[in-house]
Structure 1
Amino acid sequence: MQQSKYLKWFAFAATIGMLLILLGGALVTKTDSGMGCGRNWPGCNGQLIPDKITTEVLIEFSHRLVTGAVGILILILSVWSWRALGHVRETKFLAFLAMFFLILQALIGAAQVKWGQGDFILALHFGISLISFTSVLLLTLLIFEVDRKFDTHKLRIGKTLKWNTIGVALYSYVVVYTGALVRHTDSSLICSDWPLCRNDQFTLPTNMYEWVQMGHRSAAALIFLWIAGIAWHAFKHYKDQKVLYYGWIIAFIIVTLQATTGMLVVLTKLNLFIALLHSLLISLLFGLLCYMILLLSRSRSKMTK
């Protein structure tokens, strides 16, 4: 029992750490601090610890330190949870994913520093970090035994909810990628109005940057409508299964806030706090959608709706 208590606190700390890595990476991108340490990795500007600290150096070097420290936490959590909860079928898979994608995102970050990468490759960086964060989040939920609280082993999920859950979860990664592409191609303010690129006229995008920006807005609009429809379906048919009922209501709230902050990012000309909040919300939404996927595997009987 005491070991379980310590494992819960450790898992919680690791989850917060992964969230800091995500937001730290977004901060590096949004402040153009990626080259704060020059072409040196893992050192910084030819030194193990830089003696000349600028804003860019502070942001980039701090992100590297946090990634390294949290990497150690994730390694310990993976081994610990593997030994303590290896009988739970998802544990080993999630522990492997957390470590694998954390290492992968670190290597992509290092490659960008050493040799540079194209915008379309760099856009994968946030998505890969997101998978690692989500793996740790789901591992933490298993450790806290959320499933026992909501009795998820007795869920009844119909085909409509099942296929929409799978579809919107996969599609959410497309939304994540297009959002990262907006940042890495410097397309954030190419359209100064919202929801159209130019509110005084409806025209097709005229260049690649406008296509990237409006493509992301279209993708975000679709996921908002999709989740709204799923939430309404859950509201009508799943009131007796609280984890599904409240899960989709929360998903709708998050996607609404996500759309709102996306609008405000444009209207406030890239306010840093709002931009980071935008990244936080999509991270939480993706994690929640992946949890709903996990619940699908625990459905023992099927509903007709």
Structure 2
Amino acid sequence: MRRLLKWFAVATTIGMLFVLIGGALVTKTGSGMGCGRSWPLCHGQLIPSNITAELLIELSHRVVSGVVGLMVLILSIWAWKAIGHIRETKFLAITSFVFLVLQGLIGAAAVVWGQSDVVLALHFGISLISFAAVFLLTLFIFEVDKKFDAASVVLDRKMKFHIYGIIAYCYIVVYTGALVRHKQASLACPSWPFCAQTRIFPTQLHEWVQMGHRLAAGLLFVWILIATIDAMKRYKRQPIIYWGWLIALILVSCQVATGALVVFTELNLYVALAHAFFISCLFGVLSYFVLLATRSKKEKETRHESNVIPSAVLK
């Protein structure tokens, strides 16, 4: 039964990735109104008669989101019963389902009543929180075998600052990227890294939105690079931290590279979807770091424990 739970958790995590990428696909292809002002039906019909590419993309995203939503609900209940003794399980189970429902309601409201670009930009970020919760639930399910104990990780205050600060800042970067998509500002600046070859600074709103996101993403890359160098210097004996930050650096590098390629390829769809994929994976890795930070012992406490002479020895 536990093996089945593991497979189901992995499938649900992959399903959440499809929800995230599907949402990006809807936005990138301008298919948000593919089913008109009708939800959950499409143009008021269960089976639409006039099939278009935009309709197929929007309807497919709704179907996938619905199926995955049901999977998340099942996983939440199943995990609650199977590993509810782990302190974070119930919180993550509730978070994963509630935020997935919330992103669905925002999407439905956007279709039926319309929403501003500022509100719509929240859609991807809310889905990302649900994905991170499902991802961590999956890790908990595998952790039950005690092949790896997160509580054995030792982190100092500086590393915890990097972890908490970077994931919070990463969420801001995600929002600015979503705002770029919903403002249709992906190609507002025809050059990279500057807005244009003849000038550095933007001159109108769409250019400011685009360059604001580039600056935010650039700072995220630098911060992760600093944290990775710190991990490589001081955490060689803790492979999960050492390699985890290297993976984070690779993912953020891919994120920056695909961001540049979006401009150079003039919004190639596959490159744009890869851009969304890499930030989703990066947020998942950072979420795991948060888990490690909340469970780890303080470095001073660990040193103190190692210096205490057991009473049996004294006797």
Which category of TM-score, normalised to the shorter sequence, fits these structures?
over 0.9
TM normalised by structure 1 equals: 0.96
After superposition, residues 246-285 of structure 1 pair within 5 angstroms as: 246-285=243-282
Counterparts of 2:100 and 2:193, CA distance in 1: 35
Task: Please report how far the alpha carbon of residue 152 of structure 1 lies from its aligned counterpart in structure 2 after TM superposition.
Answer: 2.1
Alignment of 1:42-81 (within 5 A): 42-81=40-79
Question: 2: CA distance between counterparts of 1:183 and 1:301?
Answer: 41
8 A contact 1:152–1:243 mirrored in 2: no
Which of 225, 228, 231 is 1:231 aligned to? Answer: 228
Query: How far does the alpha carbon of each residue in 1:181-240 deviate from its partner, in whole angstroms, 9 at most, with x for none?
Result: 0000011101000000012332x3211111100000000000000000000000000010
Q: Distance in 2 between matches of 1:27 and 1:151?
A: 38
Q: What's 1:93 paired with? A: 91
In 1, Cα distance between the equivalents of 2:273 and 2:103? 19
Return the match for 2:114 from 113, 116, 137: 116
Structure 1 letter corresponding to 2:81: R
Q: How is 1:191-206 mapped onto 2 (pairs within 5 angstroms)?
A: 191-202=189-200, 204-206=201-203
Give me the whole-angstrom Cα distance separating, in 2, the residues matched to 1:211 and 1:146. Answer: 48
SS of corresponding position for 1:149: coil
Deviations 1:63-106 (A, max 9, x none): 11111111111111000000000001111110000000000000
Paired residues of 1:156 and 1:303 also in contact (CA < 8 A): no
- Normalised by the length of structure 2, the TM-score is 0.93
Q: Which runs of 5+ in 2 are unaligned?
A: 302-315
Residues 286-305 of structure 1 aligned to structure 2 (within 5 Å): 286-302=283-299
Kept in 1, the 8 Å contact 2:143–2:149? The answer is: no
Q: Distance in 1 between matches of 2:195 and 2:165?
A: 28
- Which shifted more, 295-304 or 102-111? 295-304
C-alpha contact (below 8 Å) 2:38/2:112 kept by paired residues: yes
Pick from 32, 35, 46: which aligns with 1:34? 32
Q: What is the percentage of aligned positions where both structures have the same residue?
A: 58
Q: Match of 2:210?
A: 213
Count of residues in correspondence between the two structures: 301
**Secondary structure of 1:148's match?**
coil
Whole-Å Cα distance in 2 between the matches of residues 189 and 243 of structure 1?
A: 38
Query: Counterpart of 2:310?
Result: none
Whole-angstrom CA distance in 1 between matches of 2:131 and 2:144: 18
- The answer to whether the aligner puts 1:244 opposite 2:241 as a matched pair is yes
User: Who is 1:148 aligned against?
Assistant: 146
- Give distance in 2, aligned partners of 1:294 and 1:67: 26
Q: Distance in 2 between matches of 1:303 and 1:119?
A: 47
- 2:306 maps to none
Letter in 2 for 1:15: T
Residue of structure 1 in register with 2:136 after alignment: 138
Which structure has the larger Rg?
2
User: What RMSD over aligned residues (CA atoms) do the two structures have, in Å?
Assistant: 1.3
CA distance in 2, matches of 1:147, 1:129: 29
Which letter maps to 1:258? Q
Give the partner amino acid of 1:23.
I
Alignment match of 1:186 (pick from 184, 187, 190): 184
Partners in 1 of 2:28 and 2:297 — Cα distance?
A: 45
In the aligned structure 1, how far is the partner of 2:291 from the partner of 2:144? 12
The answer for the alignment partner of 2:311 in structure 1 is none
Q: Give the whole-Å Cα distance in 1 for the aligned partners of 2:72 and 2:119.
A: 25
Q: Which runs of 5+ in 1 are unaligned?
A: none
1:22 maps to what in 2?
20
